[in-house]
């Protein structure tokens, strides 16, 4: 049976109606989602908001009108909220509420007053060894609580760590953004062969298709430690370098030693080098071991 070709008029009408629907359902300052009034856009899909008790929260949203109510992206978003609801750790952002309306799905979480670690590194250039390792220890503790539930973050990077009370004695580090976590024995919602994570922070074994585990998160956390101490990423994508070539370098090349770009002890350099090893069996095998290695230098 011959397929009926698409009619240009039908497509134009569809796009016109979609544009109208998106305009009607625009998420902006003053929009009300359940108990939350949006006040300020913090990122592409996160808003500062107030609840009915006048408490400040952060609300993360995703439009069904863009992706369809059964799309993988919507299902990932719902799973992210479900996973957050199972976590209770002082260094993991706390979920407060989840909601769904005809055109949008959202969840509310604690609003973290502070700056992300990427911004702090950009501002200071390099962070001190004790400060960096104190934050790394807190994030490793958060990861340990995930790993005990067979959950792996897979997207550790400086911008996914919020720093409360930056530059103060009571400074704290909070792990955020669980959009691409992997739960062991649960079907992954990313496509087969999809590279998951942020280029430059992805463990080399995962670029070869190996499953996520604690050692992969430890590798990624160590790239953050390296960047905080040196002021530069472990690997830098060169101008004009394709993503494929860059990823191959991060997988195959030995990273430059931290001690070559920052004055640190040989012992600390050895800990960083160990946990950036291409072979996951050469790294710390769990976060408890990793924390013990860091504590010697705090």
As a three-state string, the secondary structure of the chain is CCCCCCCHHHHHHHHHHHHHHHHHCCCCCCCEECCEEEEEECCCCEEEEECCCCCEEEEEEEEHHHHCCCCHHHHHHHHHHHHHHCCCCCCECCEEEEEECCCEEEEEEECCCEEEHHHHHHHHCCCCHHHHHHHHHHHHHHHHHHHCCCEECCCCCHHHEEEECCCCCCCEEEECCCCCCEECCCCCCCCCCCCCCCCCCCCHHHHCCCCCCHHHHHHHHHHHHHHHHHCCCCCCCCCCCCHHHHHHHHHHCCCCCHHHCCCCCHHHHHHHHHHCCCCHHHCCCCHHHHHHHHHCCC
Please indicate whether residue 155 is annotated as part of the active site: yes
Task: State the distance between the two ends of the chain, measured CA to CA, in whole angstroms.
Answer: 72
Give, in order, the Cα–Cα distances in Å from 168 to each of 49, 117, 131, 226, 237: 26, 14, 11, 22, 33
From the list 12, 97, 102, 155, the catalytic residue is: 155
Distances (CA, A) of 240 to 5, 23, 166, 236: 40, 38, 36, 12
Angle CA 270–271–274, to nearest 5: 80
Residue with tokens 């960083």: 272
* Residues known to be catalytic: 155
């Amino acid at each position: 049976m011959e397929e009926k070709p698409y009619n240009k008029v039908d497509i134009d009408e569809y796009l016109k109606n979609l544009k109208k629907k998106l305009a009607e359902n625009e998420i902006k300052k003053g929009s009300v989602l359940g108990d939350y009034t949006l006040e300020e856009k913090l990122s592409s899909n996160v808003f500062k908001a107030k609840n009915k008790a006048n408490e400040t929260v952060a609300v993360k949203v995703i439009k069904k009108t863009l992706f369809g109510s059964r799309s993988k992206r919507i299902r990932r978003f719902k799973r992210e909220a479900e996973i957050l609801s199972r976590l209770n750790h002082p260094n993991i952002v706390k979920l407060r509420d989840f909601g769904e309306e005809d055109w949008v799905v959202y969840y509310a979480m604690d609003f973290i007053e502070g700056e992300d670690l990427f911004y702090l590194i950009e501002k200071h250039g390099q962070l001190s060894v004790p400060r960096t390792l104190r934050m790394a220890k807190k994030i490793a503790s958060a990861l340990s609580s995930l790993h005990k539930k067979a959950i792996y973050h897979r997207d550790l990077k400086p911008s996914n760590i919020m720093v409360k009370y930056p530059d103060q004695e009571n400074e704290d580090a909070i792990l955020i953004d669980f959009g691409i976590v992997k739960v062991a024995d649960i079907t992954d919602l990313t496509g087969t062969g999809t590279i998951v994570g942020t280029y430059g922070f992805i463990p080399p074994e995962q670029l070869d298709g190996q499953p996520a585990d604690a050692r992969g998160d430890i590798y990624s956390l160590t790239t953050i430690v390296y960047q905080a101490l040196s002021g530069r990423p472990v690997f830098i994508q060169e101008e004009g370098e394709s993503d494929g070539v860059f990823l191959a370098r991060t997988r195959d090349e030995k990273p430059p030693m931290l001690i070559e770009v920052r004055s640190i002890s040989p012992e600390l350099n050895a800990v960083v080098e160990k946990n950036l090893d291409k072979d996951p069996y050469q790294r710390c095998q769990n976060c408890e071991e990793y924390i013990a290695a860091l504590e010697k230098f705090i």
